[in-house]
Amino acid sequence: MADDQFPGWHGTTIIGVKRGDEVVIAGDGQVSLGQTVIKGTARKVRRLSPGGHDVVCGFAGSTADAFTLLERLEAKLEATPGQLQRAAVELAKDWRTDKYLQKLEAMLIVSDGAEIYVITGAGDVLAPEHDVAAIGSGGNFALAAARGLMETDLSAEDIARKAMAIAADICVYTNGNLTVEKITK
């Protein structure tokens, strides 16, 4: 889908960083409508605990669409306890084939502490190659910064925070009000 057909691209930055046995997902708090900032303190990173198995999710795109996907993901996780990859693949299959879900304009980064996945409406479940994933309008800026910082001794949280600060300095649709969730396996 082209960027001009997907207004949700312009509105957030989410990053996931895996370092050792810890994963951190961080998201900014800015909500934009066109060129206007509507809110600066939104929470776009959530912790789900279906069946007692923690999963951390961050979303970019349309908020209502993202909440629909989070609800669907939670149902998939309840059906396959402790199997994030399987739940993510099942969600991606539904997203790609269901006519209602196909119209949803959002992306997710999810982690159970062992792995990080990016789930897209194109039916993709992507595991990042370098233990860093980023989505949203400032995603490429945050990704580049985090990839450079992975060569340091910084913790996953410090890398995520620094990468998000760089993205917020560059992307007008990203701010520095972060929600940060850590998960370990």
Active-site residue flag, 12: yes
Q: Identify which has the larger pLDDT, 121 or 79.
A: 79
Q: Identify which has the larger pLDDT, 10 or 72.
A: 72
Q: Identify which has the larger pLDDT, 163 or 104.
A: 163
Structure tokens at 91: 């969600």
Determine the Cα–Cα distance for residues 145 and 164; give it in Å rounded to an integer: 8
pLDDT tens track for 94-117: 888 887 777 888 899 999 999 999
Determine the Cα–Cα distance for residues 44 and 49; give it in Å rounded to an integer: 16
Q: What superfamily in CATH does domain 3-184 come from?
A: Aminohydrolase, N-terminal nucleophile (Ntn) domain (3.60.20.10)
Distance of CA 181 to the CA centre of its chain: 11
Question: What pLDDT does residue 97 have?
Answer: 85
Residue ranges of domains in the chain: 3-184
Candidate list 12, 13, 80, 174, residue with the active-site label = 12
Question: What pLDDT does residue 7 have?
Answer: 44
Mean pLDDT score across all residues of the chain: 90
Q: Are 27 and 58 in contact (CB under 8 A)?
A: yes
Strand pairing category for 45-48 and 55-61? antiparallel
Q: Give residue 10's pLDDT band: very low, low, confident or very high (50, 70, 90).
A: low
Determine the Cα–Cα distance for residues 114 and 111; give it in Å rounded to an integer: 7
What's the pTM value of the predicted model, to 2 decimals? 0.91
